[in-house]
Amino acid sequence: MPSFFRAAGAQLEYLGPEPDRWRSRNLKEMDDAWEFDHYIDLENVPEGALDASDRYTFIAALYAAGIQRPQQSVGFLPWRILELYQRLQTEFAIWRNMEDDPDRPFVEARILNDAGILGHYVADAAQPHHTTIHFNGWAEGAPNPRGFTTDRDFHSRFESAFVEAHIHFQDVDAEMAPDPHPVENPREAVWEHVRASNRTVEEQYELESAYGFDPEAPAHPLAREFVIQRLVAGAEMLRALWCKNPLWVGPRLRPLPIGPKWQWRSTAFYGEPKARMREVKDSMTEKESVVALHDLEGMQDDLIKLFNERFDEINKKIGGLRMNLNITPKPVTPKPAPSAAPASRPENAKRKSKKPTKPKKTEAEERIDQIRSEVEKVLERLGQMETEA
């Protein structure tokens, strides 16, 4: 993988959930354009319709089969994956021919955007719920002789809460095939990725009946293993599609810090022959530095927020007092530089009178102390990493 791609772990991870950020009931045109790309209800696809040459011919075939609202009843997930994959191929072909071109970073930005967003849909497809009419509890009106759950929270409980509670990076990492599997025909591979996921729908519901996917209770090993295998399927598919470009040889991808959501996890498992991945993982602390950086940035935000809150509070008080006292606001003057300590004060006396009685800390001050100690901890960790490296 080229170094710009390898270095973009955090960005690719950020982009994993990006298409979910485009979903908004208030922005109907945008929402309608893309919300049907997240799934395909394979049971509703008429025989042969997926042989269509492109998305539009596919839609025409669905209308021809009498489906009234094909976007809603069927969805377009495999098309979306293939379209993005081909865009990535195109962008990489352009990139390859742009050596020493000052515009090359713009192409790199495009590649990263599409690669990250591709990750979302590939991971969606690995979640069986995204490939079936039984997308959130067994479908109403469908025969249900085995009494599968109709719980309308099943979807998010399975892919978010359960994963959050019970699945760790190592679980998935350990099950990844050592090398990316070859992709002879990307279209066939994507279609099969979706169909394979759909073939696990009943098993998903059986496991729910037998053991449950409960974030609160200890997970049954079979339930966990099912989720892990689905995440592996998504991660391996994404890895295969990312690595399929013949250009992508040479320096390898590095593992990413993992995030909380289904996509983030899958995105984190892309890319590498496993042995090489381990080697890289063992030999570097960059990943930890990235996590530490995120921690520090988060704390910085907290401090700024806290400052702003206090500032507003004080401002309001000042405004109120002025109003009461009928004083017009005076312009804010910069704080004068602290004047030198009184000359008469001897040096050692200064040290002695170190602390007057300690006033009780306000909640805000306590929070600042807490953040300060967290910052110090992270800095210490960074220092350790530096000395170890």
Residue nearest to Zn ion (CB): 38
Tell me which residues in 268-327 interact with Zn ion (CB under 5 A): none
In this complex, which beta carbon is closest to Zn ion, that of residue 32 or of residue 297? 32
Contact status: 80 vs Zn ion (CB under 5 A): no
Among the residue ranges 65-73, 119-127, 172-180, 212-220, the one whose residues contact Zn ion (CB under 5 A): 119-127
In this complex, which beta carbon is closest to Zn ion, that of residue 73 or of residue 144? 73
Among the residue ranges 117-125, 160-168, 270-278, 338-346, the one whose residues contact Zn ion (CB under 5 A): 117-125
Number of residues that bind Zn ion (CB under 5 A): 2
Contact status: 244 vs Zn ion (CB under 5 A): no
177: which 2 tokens?
């095939």
Contact status: 124 vs Zn ion (CB under 5 A): yes
In this complex, which beta carbon is closest to Zn ion, that of residue 38 or of residue 157? 38
In this complex, which beta carbon is closest to Zn ion, that of residue 46 or of residue 137? 137
**Nearest approach, Cβ of 161 to Zn ion (angstroms)?**
16
Among the residue ranges 120-128, 243-251, 277-285, 311-319, the one whose residues contact Zn ion (CB under 5 A): 120-128
Residue 52, CA distances (Å) to 60, 79, 87, 121, 213 in order: 9, 10, 19, 20, 37
Contact status: 159 vs Zn ion (CB under 5 A): no
**Nearest approach, Cβ of 101 to Zn ion (angstroms)?**
35
**Nearest approach, Cβ of 190 to Zn ion (angstroms)?**
15
**Nearest approach, Cβ of 18 to Zn ion (angstroms)?**
10
**Nearest approach, Cβ of 160 to Zn ion (angstroms)?**
12
169: which 2 tokens?
């990076």
**Nearest approach, Cβ of 23 to Zn ion (angstroms)?**
8
**Nearest approach, Cβ of 77 to Zn ion (angstroms)?**
8
Contact status: 37 vs Zn ion (CB under 5 A): no
Contact status: 38 vs Zn ion (CB under 5 A): yes
**Nearest approach, Cβ of 117 to Zn ion (angstroms)?**
10
In this complex, which beta carbon is closest to Zn ion, that of residue 124 or of residue 208? 124
Contact status: 35 vs Zn ion (CB under 5 A): no
CB 195 within 8 A of CB 42: yes
CA pair distance 115, 155, nearest whole angstrom: 25
In this complex, which beta carbon is closest to Zn ion, that of residue 156 or of residue 308? 156
**Nearest approach, Cβ of 19 to Zn ion (angstroms)?**
6
In this complex, which beta carbon is closest to Zn ion, that of residue 200 or of residue 245? 200
In this complex, which beta carbon is closest to Zn ion, that of residue 38 or of residue 134? 38
CA pair distance 203, 209, nearest whole angstrom: 10
Among the residue ranges 30-38, 200-208, 217-225, 308-316, the one whose residues contact Zn ion (CB under 5 A): 30-38
* Residue 4: count of CB within 10 angstroms of its CB: 15
**Nearest approach, Cβ of 58 to Zn ion (angstroms)?**
19
Contact status: 193 vs Zn ion (CB under 5 A): no
In this complex, which beta carbon is closest to Zn ion, that of residue 35 or of residue 272? 35
Q: What is the 3-state secondary structure (H, E, C) of the chain?
A: CCHHHHCCHHHHHHHCCHHHHCCCCCCHHHHHHHHHHHCCCHHHCCCCHHHCCCHHHHHHHHHHCCCCCHHHHCCCHHHHHHHHHHHHHHHHHHHHCCCCCCCHHHHHHHHHHHHHHHHHHHHHHHCHHHHCCCECECCCCCCCCCCCCCCCCHHHHHHHHHHHHHCCHHHHHCCCCCCCCCCCCHHHHHHHHHHHHHCCHHHHHHHHHHCCCCCCCCCCHHHHHHHHHHHHHHHHHHHHHHHCCCCCCCCCCCCCCCCCCHHHHHHHCCCCCHHHHHHHHHHCCHHHHHHHHHHHHHHHHHHHHHHHHHHHHHHHHHHHHHHHHCCCCCCCCCCCCCCCCCCCCCHHHHHHCCCCCCCCCCHHHHHHHHHHHHHHHHHHHHHHHHHHC
CA pair distance 44, 76, nearest whole angstrom: 12
Residues that bind Zn ion (CB under 5 A): 38, 124
